[in-house]
Chains A and B, each alone.
Chain A
Amino acid sequence: MTAVKMTVNGQKVSHEVADNTLLVTFIRETLGLTGTHVGCDTSQCGACVVHVNGASVKACSMLAAQADGADITTIEGIANGDELHPMQKAFHENHGLQCGFCTPGMVMSAIELVEKGGKLSEREIREGLEGNICRCTGYHNIVRAVQDAAEEMGG
């Protein structure tokens, strides 16, 4: 067992976890933050993307112990109270989600893409989301949403 302390969505948390606990398991099962999803077992699908110290990370590719001391943001932590993050708003306005399962990871990846990418072309957005799989939307409206959010976020 390992003692881990981290800040998750602005709250300090500390828990004892088994050494082999993945960060995503810690988030979902220990903390009960089930908005972060598990869609594969090979780190391909991106449903589990969270921000670790501001960088988007597939939470299935990291142990909870490795995140000791980190500042973590999950999909539950990006809205400002009742006001949605511009990326959440843009997904809603552009119908960028259907079943919602890939959505948390897609939104978290897209936020980092826009924050780091500046002015992005459609091709850059499509390539930037290569690590997130969506089975419902055909990505068309996701790309539109990211374009809109980028405007709003000053990207």
Chain B
Amino acid sequence: MPEGITNQGIGASVRRKEDKRFLTGRGRYTDDISRAGQLYAHFVRSDVAHAKIKSVDTANATAMEGVHAVYTGDDIAADNVGSLINGWSVNNRDGSAMTEPPHPVLAQGKVRYVGDHVAMVVAETLDIAKSAAELVQVDYEELAAVVDLDQAAGGAQIHDDLPGNTYFDWELGDEAATSTALENAHTIVSATLRNNRLVPNAMEPRAAVAEYDHIDDSFVLYSTTQNPHLLRLVICAFVLGIPESKMQIVAPDVGGGFGSKIYLYAEEACCTWAARKLRRPVKWTADRTQAFLSDAHGRDHINRVQMGLDKSGKIIGLRVDTLANLGGYLSAFSVATPTYLHGTLLSGCYDIPAIYTNVKGMATTTAPVDAYRGAGRPEATYILERTMDIAARQIGMDPAEFRRLNFIPKTAFPYQTAVALQYDTGDYEPSLDKALAMIDYKGFANRRAEAAKRGKYRGIGISSYIEACGIAPSAVVGALGGRVGLYESAVVRVDPTGTVSVFTGTHSHGQGHDTTFAQIVAEKLGVSIDAVEIVHGDTNRIQFGMGTYGSRSLAVGGTAISKALDKVIEKGKIIAAHMMEASDADLEFKDGKFIVAGTDREKSFGEIALSAYVPHNFPHDRLEPGLEETAFYDPLNFTYPAGTHICEVEIDPATGVTQIVDWAACDDFGNLINPMIVEGQVHGGIALGVGLGLVVVAVFVVFGLLLSASFLVYCMPRADNLPSIKLDYTVTACTHNDLGVKGCGEAGAIASPPAVINAIVDALSVVGVTDMSMPATPQKVWRAIQAATKTAAE
């Protein structure tokens, strides 16, 4: 770690600066914002999964007192409102471009999922808007729903230009080499694995408040977004045709995102458009039901896996064929998630010489599916880590030792995988060993025997993961079909009195940037974190930025801050050298002081700041006054956090209920800025994965209705589903950013689902169960036990 660690600097578990406003009810979320004269929007949503719209009768709704407007797809078309965008395009296996059907903000002649936006009612109050929406009559000609992913290709055609309901048919890796490896394998391990569909469910539902100033022809949009500048770019350039300079996006406090708030949604575009038409602010807040229906869902892949092993148990080839459910429309990063964020992760932490993957992105008449915490990497890790356990069991090797045998050795870095990525650094055995020690792996047999005496099945499951995060080099992303840059920006503004404001293009919605970023400033400038303000979430204040997702805020945004701070220090040295009549080369900056090396001459940081703004004694021939520096940082590579999580469960065979009794995780996130915040991120990620493993799944019935569309039916993990968690770390510093950091936001969510299922299968192996799909609900577990017991009896 850098020198000069203070109790507020890098490596300190500083308590969060942002806590007090949240703890006292002074947070300011989008729904807390109301503007004078605001109207309320409510959306008429499709209650059928797939249909032609024959007519929309808005007369009765429009006539209702207090209703200002009822808009339909025709109004949108008449105003030439553009489509929502697909942010990433890939080519098909045959080299042709994928198909990208439009995604209108109000349906144009057809609806493609339950919840699709058919009409928008704007009224004086929300009650009136909702009542009027009931009076909008939509006449549908129903078409067959397409719900079953495995059957989607043969289902009713959803988009005119999309035969076989296939958005793309993409591949990565060397198919011939992989086939040869599998043919030559001593052992073939086969599995069909499903990543279950989830609904994002950030605790704050999406919301928007749009204002239009007709004198200035300008807009303000308050939004629950993770990504204010991208939102501005898309809504201005692609959807509404507004100059970016006339649009201010404010993302105030945002109550969690997990990926679901990265994109521009129809409601934000419609509210902004309607605010201009009506010349009144328009507010919309999703209730939870609307969130279930229309937030972009996550996961939902079916994978057919073949792994080949040589005689010693070394993996020599891996083939994965994936069907990815992308829903009725392409959401902004829905294409990237199952392709370049998924196929590239299939090597995991293992040395696998030949890998091939084919991914078909399928349309179904369900809500769009997009990135969710981990975005492709949890799905890939689930495939790999489940298969690792199945393979170990098949060849009779301990699953920990089977992983150890196949790890990329420490000496092999930088390591080029068979699926495009080059890992810069890592060391996987120490993480495995630490996690094994933390959970007392050696003592497991005794614990299992003790549990058996109590009539319980006890199991243990390992998951060794890697992730590619800190997304990432713009040039690489562009070459792979990404349509955005993925750098990050920072402005460091030092005030005359030495206080510091940092303007970052990342966005904090729970990650604690106010604190972590202030610690970087404290470390580098030697000021108190109380003298540092972190500013984010407002396009009128921030230069530009790419928002927060993919564990990028620290690795990319933090590095940009670090680089801007370096520029401040360099400028400060020149000012200090001038003031002390020394040469630049003799100046050192340490502990908040500019020192002429080898002398007792020094100037404090505050003195230099003042001199920059009151430049009476100032090197005017070399510098402009002021002390404010900008950095845009575009990384050279992804970062590669990795580690091992181990889950231990007990199952009650009488009820099928799984209790997670222990959890140990050892992660390598590179250097840690605030270990307390890092731990919180890992806890939350694990909870998410435990939810997927045990309780969470979005269920559509055959005609396309989302059955699990409320917290009554959709089981969110609660405090009593989760264990206390033991965490520890190993550190291999990232080699290509200044801070040596890798990112920690998604690791828990990536590592945890296979650890849960591996533990459950291990527990149930005593009665001969060999497979379990997510979520392992009590009913499913109980039935598996019954079936296995019955088979054994026969």
Residues of chain A at the chain B interface (Cβ within 8 Å): 18, 20, 28-29, 33-42, 44-45, 47, 74-76, 79, 84, 88, 91-93, 95, 97-104, 107, 122-123, 125-127, 129-130, 132-143
Nearest CB in chain A: distance from B510 CB, A: 3
- Most A CB within 10 A of own CB, among B680, B685, B725: B680
Which chain B residues numbered 87 to 113 have a C-beta less than 8 Å away from chain A?
Answer: none
Q: Is the C-beta of B711 less than 8 angstroms from some C-beta in chain A?
A: yes
Instruction: Tell me the interface secondary structure of chain B in the complex.
Output: loop
B719 engages A143 (CB within 8 Å): yes
Report yes or no: B22 in contact with A40, Cβ–Cβ below 8 A: no
User: Is B704 in contact with chain A by the CB < 8 A criterion?
Assistant: no
- CB contacts (< 8 Å) of A136 on chain B: these are 203, 256, 510, 680, 684
List the B side residues contacting A28 at CB < 8 Å.
32
* A134 and B683 contacting across the interface, CB-CB below 8 Å: no
Evaluate contact between B23 and A97: CB separation under 8 angstroms.
Answer: yes
Question: Contact: B686 with A134, CB < 8 Å?
Answer: no
Which residue, of A97, A100, A107, has the highest number of chain B Cβ atoms within 10 A? A100
Binary flags per residue of B576-616, CB closer than 8 Å to A gives 1, else 0: 00000000000000000000000000000000000000000
Q: Report if A92-B719 is in contact (Cβ < 8 Å); known contacts: A100-B27, A138-B684.
A: no
A42–B711 CB distance below 8 A: yes
Closest Cβ neighbor of B32 among chain A residues: A34
Cα distance A34–B581 in the bound complex, in angstroms: 56
Q: Which residues of B contact A (CB under 8 A)?
A: 15-16, 18-29, 31-32, 34, 127, 201-205, 253-256, 258, 287-289, 509-512, 676-677, 679-680, 683-688, 710-712, 716, 718-720, 722, 724-725, 748
A135 and B716 in contact (CB under 8 A), knowing A41-B289, A95-B680, A140-B722? yes
A127 to B722, CA, bound (A): 11
A125–B684 Cα gap in the complex (Å)?
A: 18
Q: Which of B16, B20, B258 is the one whose CB lies under 8 Å from A95?
A: B16
Shortest CB–CB separation between residue B251 and chain A, in angstroms? Answer: 12
Pick from B20, B34, B287, B512: contact of A98, CB below 8 A: B512
> Which residues of A are found within 8 Å of B725, using beta-carbon distances?
138, 140
A-B contact pairs, 20 of them (CB 8 A): A39-B255, A40-B287, A40-B710, A40-B711, A84-B24, A98-B512, A99-B254, A99-B510, A100-B21, A101-B29, A101-B203, A126-B722, A130-B718, A130-B720, A135-B716, A138-B722, A139-B683, A139-B719, A140-B724, A140-B725
Cα A47 to Cα B667 with chains together (Å) = 32
Contact A41 B287 (CB under 8 A): yes
A36 and B25 form a contact (CB under 8 A)? yes
Q: Which residue of A lies closest to B202 (CB)?
A: A135
Does the CB pair B256–A135 fall under 8 Å?
yes
Q: Is the interface of A mostly helix, strand, loop or mixed?
A: loop
Contact assessment for A139 and B687 in the assembled complex, using a CB-CB cutoff below 8 Å: yes
Separation in Å of the B294 CB from the closest CB of chain A?
14
| Complexed CA–CA distance, A132 and B424 (Å) | 42
A133 CB contact (under 8 Å) in B32, B509, B711: B711
Closest to B22 in A: A100
Q: Once the chains bind, are A135 and B24 in contact (CB under 8 Å)?
A: no
- The answer to whether A138 and B686 touch across the interface, beta carbons within 8 angstroms, is yes
Report, nearest first, the 9 A-B pairs whose CB atoms are least far apart.
Answer: A35-B25, A100-B22, A101-B255, A99-B510, A138-B687, A44-B711, A138-B683, A98-B510, A34-B32
A95 CB contacts on chain B under 8 angstroms: 15-16, 676-677, 679-680
When chains A and B are docked, how far (Å) is the Cα of A60 from the Cα of B461? 41
In the docked arrangement, what's the CA distance between A39 and B512, Å? 21
Interface contact A103-B23, CB-CB below 8 Å:
yes
- Expressed in whole angstroms, the minimum distance between the Cβ of B480 and any Cβ of chain A is 31
Query: A133-B716, A138-B686 given as contacts; is B509 within 8 A of A99 (CB)?
Result: yes
Considering the chains assembled together, what is the distance between the CA atoms of A103 and B712 in angstroms? 21
CA distance A129 to B258 in the complex (A): 23
Q: Report the separation of the CA atoms of residues A142 and B203 in the bound assembly, to the nearest whole angstrom.
A: 16
Q: Interface centre among B203, B258, B677, by most A CB within 10 Å?
A: B203
- What would 17 more interface pairs be, CB under 8 Å, given A34-B25, A75-B25, A98-B256? A39-B288, A40-B288, A75-B23, A84-B23, A84-B24, A97-B19, A99-B255, A101-B202, A101-B204, A101-B255, A102-B203, A127-B719, A134-B203, A139-B683, A140-B722, A141-B680, A141-B683
